[in-house]
Amino acid sequence: MSQKIEALKSVLSGQPVIPVVAVESAASAVDLARALAAGGLPAIEITLRTPAALDAIRAVSAEVPEAIVGAGTILTPEQYDAAEEAGARFIVSPGATMEVLDAAGAGEAPLLPGAATPSELMAMIEEGYELLKFFPAEQLGGIAYLKALAPVFQSITFCPTGGVSPANVRDYLALPNVICVGGSWVAPKDKLAAGDFAAITALAAEAAALRG
Ligand code: 3PG
C-alpha cells in the first residue's frame, strides 16, 4: 500500500494555496468553488465539519468542472469512502491511522495524511508516503520546525495548514520541503455569508500569484 503520489502532486503543485473551507450549503459551495477557480485556485478542500459537506462535494463535482474538489477533515475510513463516493478527487486527513490508510489503498482518490513528529514521519515513509499535511502548522513550530526536519526527512514534502496567513505564507512557500499551503483566509466566512464572491475571487487571485 503506498501513496498515489503523482496524482496528488499534480493537484498540490498546481497552486500555492489550497483553500480550506467549511460550507453551510451545497449551493454556496458551488458559488465558492467557481469564485476560487476564477481567481486561479481550482483545487479546494471542503472539510467534513458541517452537515452540508458531502452534498457540497457532490454538487461541486457535478456542477463546477473547472474545480478540483477535495475533501478534508477525514478521520475515519467510512468518511474516506463517503467523500470519494461524493466525487472528491483528493482527500485530506489531519493525521493518519492504519484504517484510513487502508481505505486510501483500496480507493482511487489520493490521500494527503497529516504527520508531524519524527516517529510519525518514519511510519509514513514505511507506508510509502511522501506528501504530508503538517497540521496545525503554526502551533507545532511552524517554519523553524519544518526547517529542522528537512535534512533528516529528505524524501518528505509538506502542505502546512493551520495558522498560515498572508503574513507568513511567503516564508512557508520559500521552504524547499513545502509544496503548497492550506488556508482558510482566501474564503473568509463573512464574505461567504454576504455572498461577496467577487471579493473571494480577488483574494484567490492574490494567493494564486504568490508563486510565480
Ligand atoms: C485546516 O483545517 O487545515 C485548518 O483549520 C485551516 O486553518 P486556518 O483556518 O488557520 O487557515
| Ligand 1 atom nearest 138 alpha carbon | 10
Q: 488556508: which residue's cell?
A: 183
| pTM (whole model) above 0.85 | yes
User: To test the ligand 1 pocket, which listed residue (12, 161, 164, 203) has its Cβ within 8 A of the most ligand atoms?
Assistant: 161
The verdict on residue 208 lying in a domain is: no
Contact predicate 1/124, CB 8 Å: no
For residues 61 and 69, the answer to whether their CB atoms sit within 8 Å is yes
Question: From atom 9 of ligand 1, which residue's Cα is the shortest distance away?
Answer: 184
**CATH number, position 114:** 3.20.20.70
Flag whether 127 is in a domain: yes
Torsion 13-27-46-178 (CA) sign: positive
Average pLDDT over every residue of 45-54: 98
Q: How much distance in Å is there from the Cα of 104 to the middle of ligand 1? A: 22
The rounded Å distance from CA 20 to ligand 1 centre is 6
pLDDT in tens, 126-181: 999 999 999 999 999 999 999 999 999 999 999 999 999 999 999 999 999 999 99
106 occurs within a structural domain: yes
Q: What percent of the chain has pLDDT over 90?
A: 98
- Nearest protein CA to atom 7 of ligand 1, as residue: 162
For 74-97, the pLDDT digits (tens) are 999 999 999 999 999 999 999 999
Q: What is the DSSP string of 12-78?
A: HTT-SEEEEE--S-HHHHHHHHHHHHHTT--EEEEETTSTTHHHHHHHHHHH-TT-EEEEE---SHH
In a domain, 207, yes or no: no
Supply the pLDDT for residue 81.
98
Residues having CB closer than 6 A to ligand 1 are: 20, 47, 72, 135, 161-164, 182-184
Residues classed as catalytic: 45, 133
Residue of the nearest CA to atom 3 in ligand 1? 161
Q: How many separate domains does the chain show?
A: 1
Q: Residue 193 burial (CB < 10 Å; 0-12/13-18/19+)?
A: exposed
For ligand 1, atom 6, the nearest C-alpha belongs to 162
Tell me if 84 is assigned to some domain.
Answer: yes
Q: Is there a domain that residue 160 lies in? A: yes
Give 184 Cα–ligand 1 centroid separation in angstroms: 6
Q: How far apart are CA 188 and CA 185, in angstroms?
A: 5
Going by DSSP bridges, is the β-strand pair 181-183/17-21 parallel, antiparallel, or unpaired? parallel
Determine, yes or no, domain membership for 211: no
Alpha carbon of 135 to ligand 1 centroid (Å):
8
**3 part of a folded domain:** no
How does residue 211 score in pLDDT terms, banded at 50, 70 and 90?
confident
Domain that holds residue 146: 9-202
